[in-house]
Structure formats: structure tokens, C-alpha cells
Structure 1
């Protein structure tokens, strides 16, 4: 699959079935790297928010306003 988001684009973590806010849902960050698709074929990214950086799948993020 091709990546929907681009390096430098601001995104927000989506809420999933998890309800624990400490996991970073709702945080806004910036895409810093495009990563290879995960084993299911879904595109992945590195996202930076403040000083933290994490790996996220495309289904876990949406464009930030």
C-alpha cells in the first residue's frame, strides 16, 4: 500500500477500543518517517509529539486540524 500521510504532516492519534488516555490517544504530533508496511500490509509511520517518538499504524492516526 502507499502511505496516506507525508513527512512533516500534523496528525492526531485516534481513539480505539482502548480507553486509557495515558496511551496517547488524542495527542497531536508530526510524521517524521515513513516506515514499511506492517505484516498485515498496513502502512506505518514514526510520529513525534513533544520529545516522544512512537511507531503508529495508518489506522491509528488522522489529519490534525
Structure 2
């Protein structure tokens, strides 16, 4: 299954989690790396916003 998003594409979190309360829910992230599927088969990405970099699943992000 191909990745829906590409490196350097801008995305945002669909629904910030509890640990993201300090981050504005409208924060824009840049996709910095495509990652393989996790144990459930869902594709993942490394995304970055400012100094914050994190791993997210494809279902957790949407196009900005």
C-alpha cells in the first residue's frame, strides 16, 4: 500500500492527544520521513513542527 502523504508535504493532526495539550491543535507539521507499516499494517510518518518531531500514523493526520 503506498503512502498517502509525501516528504515535505504539510499536514496537521486530526485530533491532538492528551500529551499534545500544550501544542496548538492547529499546528502544522512537515512530513520528514516515510516509515513502514506498524504491527496493525497502518503506514507511519515522521513529522516535524519547529523543534518538535514525532511519529504519527496515517490515520492521525490530514492535509494542511
TM-score under structure 2 length normalisation: 0.84
* 1:2-43: CA deviation from partner (whole Å, max 9, x where unpaired): 100000000001116x45623664321100000000110101
* 1:35-59: CA deviation from partner (whole Å, max 9, x where unpaired): 0001101010000000111000000
The two structures, once aligned, show a CA RMSD in angstroms of 1.9
TM-score under structure 1 length normalisation: 0.83
Unaligned runs of 5+ in 1: none
Q: 1: CA distance between counterparts of 2:12 and 2:48?
A: 11
Aligned length: 63
